[in-house]
Every structure is written in structure tokens, then in C-alpha cells.
Chain A
Amino acid sequence: MPRIKVESDKCTGCRLCEMVCSLHHIENTFNPKRSRIRVFTMGDHCYPVIAGPYTEAECTAKTDVVIDGRQYDGCITCRASCPAKTTFKEPDVDIPLKCDFCGEPPDPQCVKICPSDCLTLLED
């Protein structure tokens, strides 16, 4: 099963991944809110998050993540599309979005475009 490794320390926050994802999935369209990868900036840190599976119920285990001794909202860095979030859903219609690795065989456009080598495709 393919996976994408994210090294957020390398991320500069340029969001080219969001752009190419949006374009790949919707013809002639650039819309970060419909992208299956999002880059969130919290404090000094940019955190790319790739849309995971939809969960029907909101979780109860909202824990914050600690990076370099700083606390970040774990809900924001969580990959799931869930009822508590507006991210990773089609705007207006709320249909959940999930990364599909840009087809079969996997050819994730975000990995291809990332200028800071922050994303790597892993297959095992």
C-alpha cells in the first residue's frame, strides 16, 4: 500500500502541492479548499496534512502535538476528515475528500512538485 512520508521540517509553506492536487482532481481548477493535501502554518512551523479516510464520528481523543517544545492543535494536524472539521470536505456539499495517490499506479502530483523535498512516496 502506498504512503506519503511528510517531513514537515523541510516545508516552506509554498502550497504548490495544494495547487497541483486541485488541478489534478478538478479540470482547469485551482482551489486549495478542494485539495487533498493542505499546508497549515502554526507559529513558525508549516505542517502539510494529507487527507485520510473519513470517520463518521468525531473522536474524543483530541490531543495536541508537540514540535520543538511547542504545542500545536492536534485536530489541525489530524489527517481524518470528520464531522468536527470543515477541511478535507468539498465546500458547500460537505462530501469528504481523501488522497487517492493520483491513481493507479500511484503518481502523487504533490510529491512530484514539492520544491523542498518534503514529501516522499513510499511503497511497500
Chain B
Amino acid sequence: MDGWTGKVLRVDLSKGEWEDEELDLDLAEEYLGGRGLATKIFFDEVDANVDPLSPENKLIFATGPLSGTGAPTGGRYMVVSKSPLTGAIACSNVGGDLGPELKYAGYDMVIFEGKSPKPVYLVIDNGEVQIKPAEHLWGKKTDETDDMVKAEMGDKWKALDAHVAYIGPAGEKLVKIATIMSDKHRAAGRSGLGAVMGSKNLKAMAVWGSGAVTVADGEALKEATFAILELLKSSTTVEGLTTYGSMSSQFPMNRMGVLPALNFQAGSFEGVANTNARPLRANLLIRNGACFACPIACSRVTRVTDPEYQGEGWGPEFETCSLLGPNCGIDDLAAITKANYICNQLGIDTISAGGTIACAMELYEKGYLKQEEAGYELNFGNAKAMVELVEKLGLREGFGDILAEGGYSLAEKYGHPELFMGVKKQQLPAYHPQALQGTALALATANGGASHNRAGVYGSELWGYPVKTDPLAIEGKAALCVELQHYKAVLDALGLCQYIVFGHVEAEHVVSLLNAATGIDYTVESMMLAGERIWNLERLFNLAAGLTAKDDTLPKRLLEQPMLKGTYEGQVSRLGEMLPEYYRLRGWDENGVPTKEKVAELGLD
């Protein structure tokens, strides 16, 4: 059982029953864990055409074999389900401390099925499971929910060590871009999985445990850990992440002209002088925050003293700040941070919220959306309206009810789908695809819709990790994208954070952690093959769910209309030139369907 507790908890919310199952170690070996194993179980058990908000959909919380072992950044857990936003497979990756605690409480994975007739929450108290009524928690914001659930754990020592995942009002109201939060500030952000949890009347899951995660070779794991810590310490990029957080990239990206602004109409924004990492550090930062076992500590614990936007919390991170800020034409860091706090408290994806509001602003400026409908003069730069709309979005109040369906639905409703900046109905993260050709390919082909976490080609094009490539070149980008997609699938399966890439932590280091934990003799090749297996399995699910190669695309504007100004003036995304090569390298046919040979090679037949 090295690296695993060996137990899976299956909870039938319709019946209010649960049972323990043995972890299938053969499957775990084949799919590594986390994103891989959970997707395999989901694929086998759930009809791809299931309505994501119906009781027939399932919601899986999964850890990896490195979760809770002290492997650097090994604190992440994954939530897998079918997304109500995209209709595709969803795997949302979360930091914090809940994943390890779940293992200490005795479980590698929790599978939720059905729908509870009334609001409930689940408690796993050192292997003892209880389903408790949650009417008193329904409607509560995430921070209050955290405090209340912990207070109900029994004694203060348990409350101190317990970790809780929950939805806020947004998830309860089935907002399509709702998150599942844990530790108050950590989000399973993308794909709207908070709405799936809400549709099941499941408010929260609390875990506490005094059990252990045992590994095959503790000394080898320790040695690999110290080696990785040294690598991370020697990277100036990691140093930047520690000092300035993920926001360290905003200022340089703006200078390069690759920072989305004004709903991706531009690649830079003058107001970044006011929003970047330096004013954040100088004016808002209380301390750096780390996820479990992470030496980088890129999170920002912050406080806003500006009376209009007063508050305390975590963030903003780079994506949040860039999409709620420059992409909405906003340069008021206090307002952006306040909007971030509201997103965390209501349980909203900050990336999709920023992208959706930016879309509404462009609709307004072009005259397609009227002031009486929006309730505001919704010009780019209206910070007050942005902050208020984030709250309305999360509570489905007024115009917020329309925003709550996401940007794709918003742009369609007002007759201009071309103004939606996303892939597979999910908003783009804050990397401008027109100036970053490989990143564009990665965003277009990501199985869960636009996400920066599915390949991280931007790391190569912007910062030189794992290798420096020319952002405008398309040669070799398909191969790079494929390789990084597999590597990220591996990291998500094991429970590690993608930021380790910025310390040149590569597959050979990761395999040493994995083998020390599990006692299995993976090679770099066999581990990466598991990554490819995961990627293809997700693809097969999507194809069965009705997605096609047509969905591997970017907004028309980014493909056809040249960038207006800045370093990359005149650029368009050359996605169409890269896709055929990408499909070929993947062993997929011209329609993006894995060939029989590929399916057989990966053992997916």
C-alpha cells in the first residue's frame, strides 16, 4: 500500500449511505492516481452524455500517491466530474492542506453519487464517516462555512487540524463558473464544479485524521526531496515567485505585449503600473502563504485598507488580477483585490468572472448591451461596477444572473458570440494567444476547455522552462505541447504543483519521488506514457460527450484579426497550421480522434 491508504469512500447522497472500497492498485499503477485514476473511474462509471447537474453525474475528490508524503508541493488534490460549463471532462486542481488530510483520515479518494434530498455535509473523522444536515450552512459564505464546520468537529484541537472543502452561495445557486473552495482561499477554480456539488445538495466535506501515509523507501524520498528543494532554491524564477507571487509575471508580460487587455483586444495596458506585483507587495501583503509541503509559498496573504474596498484574504494571483484588472481595463488594485475576496467568499472562478465581465464591457461599449440591462454604464475601466457585478454574479442577482451562465452564454444571448474569449465555452486565462503561438495550441487543445494548467507552454515561450522557445515560432510547438500536456497530466495525477517546472524539476526528478513512495519501478518513459494515457482517456470521454475537432479552436478574432499595437502588432494565432501536426504526433486522425492503434497501444480499448 506504499503511497496509498488503500481505501476509497463511495457516498450515495440520494440514499444517505456510504461504503468503503479497496483501492484498485493495478489501476492506480496504470493511471498514477489523482487526475488519472479519478478520470478512469469516472469514465467507466458515468455515461458521457449525462446532464452535469443531474444526480447521475458523479463528483470525485482524488489525491495522488505523493499527497501527504512531504514530496515538495505534494499537497494538491483534484476534483473530477463532467463540467456544467463546458460539457467536457473536468479536472480542477487545488492546493492547500485538504488532500493530505484526507489521506491521514484514511482515504485516497471520495466519490459522491446521487443527490441528497436536503442540504448535507460529509464528515470524515479519522475513518469514521457521517452525513450531517447542512440547512444551517446553506447560504453561508465560504469563510463562515469553514469556521462553522470546524467548530462542529468536536474539540478545538480537531478544529485546528481539520480541513474543509465547500461551496459558497454561487455553487448552491448553480452558477456555471462556481468553484469548490477549501482552506478559505484555495479553489478548485475552473469548469464550474461548485455547481455540480450544489446540484447534489452537498455543502461541504470536512476531514481530520491521525493516520499516516507510509512509503516504500523513506530515505530515498527524503533524498529526492532535498535535491528538489536545492533545485528550486537555485532558480531565479522561483525566487521571483516567492518574493512577488504569481503576480511577478504581470509587469514583464505587459512589457512584452502578451498580457490580455480590454477583452483580449490588446496585449498591454498602461494601468499595469498600478496593478503589478510591486504595489501589491508594498501596499497589501501581510505574508507569503504556502500550500502543504511547498517551499515556494507563492500565495499572498493580503489586506486592503482603502475604505471603499476594505477586506482581508488571499490574493490576488496573476490570473485573477490580470483578468479582473487589465482585461476589464481596470487599474485599481484595491478594487481588483476586493473582487478577488468576494469571489473566494461566494465561491466563484476569478478567471471566468474576469473574462465574463470583460466580455460584457465590450458588448456594452459596442452598443449591444444596454445600460438598463446591465444596470451600469459598463465601460472598460469601471472598477466599481466590476466589483458589484462579481457579487451579483455569485448571488445571481439582476444582471448577475446572466453573467452567472458564463461568457459564452452571455455573448450568445446578446447576439455576438465572437466577443466570447474562450475555448470549449470556458474563458481564456491571462496569456495572449496571438503572441504566444504554442500557448495558443495548448489552450485550444486542452481537454477541459481553456486552461493555463494543462500544458504550460507559456512557461517555455515566456520564461524558458523547460526550454526557451520563440513565442512567434510554430515549428516544434506541436511536439512541445504534446510532451508538456503529458507531463502536466503526470503532475496532476501525483498531486504535485506545476510550478516545480520553474525550478527545472523534470520528469527524472519526479520519477525518483514516485518510485520512492510507491516502490514501483517506473521509468521516465512509463510514467510519461501514463500521462499520455490520461490525456487520451479524457479525449475519448469528450468525443463520446459530443465534442469534436471543431472545438479545438480559439475565438475567431484571435485567428483572423491582427493584434492592434505593441510588440506583436499584426500577429494572429496560427493555430490552423499547428493542429494537423499536433493530431499526427498524437496518433489521432485528421478529425482529432485517437486511432485504433493508439487506443490499443495505451491499453484504452
Write the residues of chain A forming the contact surface with B, with a CB cutoff of 8 angstroms.
Answer: 9, 12-16, 19-20, 22-23, 26-34, 40, 44-46, 73, 76, 85-87, 91-92, 113, 115-116
Distance to closest chain B CB from A62 (angstroms): 12
Contact B290 A12 (CB under 8 A): yes
Which of A16, A28, A115 has most chain B Cβ within 10 Å?
A: A28
Distance to closest chain A CB from B107 (angstroms): 15
Distance to closest chain A CB from B225 (angstroms): 8
* Chain B, 188-237, CB within 8 A of any chain A CB: 209-218, 221-222, 225-226, 229, 233
B14 at the interface (CB under 8 A from A): no
Residues in chain A near residue B216, CB distance under 8 A: 28
Contact A44 B286 (CB under 8 A): yes
**Nearest A residue (CB) for B103:** A30
Residues in chain A near residue B158, CB distance under 8 A: 86
Residues in chain B near residue A76, CB distance under 8 A: 156, 160
Query: Which one, B292-300, B528-536, B596-604, is touching chain A?
Result: B292-300
User: Digit string of B140-180 for contact with A (CB within 8 Å is 1, else 0)?
Assistant: 00000000000000011110110000000000000000000
Contact B217 A28 (CB under 8 A): yes
Contact B291 A23 (CB under 8 A): no
With known contacts A23-B70, A73-B156, A115-B295, A13–B290 Cβ distance under 8 A: yes
Our pick among B97, B104, B297 for the contact of A31 (Cβ within 8 Å) is B104
Q: Tell me the count of chain B residues lying within 8 A, CB to CB, of chain A.
A: 45
Residues in chain B near residue A113, CB distance under 8 A: 225-226, 229
B434 at the interface (CB under 8 A from A): no
Q: How far is the CA of A66 from the CA of B290 in the complex (A)?
A: 23
B288 at the interface (CB under 8 A from A): yes
Q: How far is the CA of A82 from the CA of B604 in the complex (A)?
A: 55
Contact A86 B157 (CB under 8 A): yes
Q: Report 14 cross-chain contacts, Cβ distance below 8 Å, ordered by A residue.
A: A9-B287, A13-B289, A20-B70, A23-B221, A29-B218, A30-B68, A31-B211, A32-B100, A32-B104, A33-B104, A34-B210, A45-B287, A113-B225, A116-B295
Q: How far is the CA of A13 from the CA of B221 in the complex (A)?
A: 21
With known contacts A14-B294, A115-B295, A30–B289 Cβ distance under 8 A: no
**Nearest A residue (CB) for B221:** A23
Contact A44 B287 (CB under 8 A): yes
B401 at the interface (CB under 8 A from A): no
Residues in chain B near residue A92, CB distance under 8 A: 210
Residues in chain B near residue A20, CB distance under 8 A: 70, 222, 225
Residues in chain A near residue B292, CB distance under 8 A: 14-15
**Nearest B residue (CB) for A13:** B290
Our pick among A9, A16, A26, A40 for the contact of B295 (Cβ within 8 Å) is A16
Residues in chain A near residue B213, CB distance under 8 A: 29-31
Contact A12 B289 (CB under 8 A): yes
Contact A31 B212 (CB under 8 A): yes
Which of A32, A91, A113 has most chain B Cβ within 10 Å?
A: A32
Q: How far is the CA of A9 from the CA of B301 in the complex (A)?
A: 12
B69 at the interface (CB under 8 A from A): yes
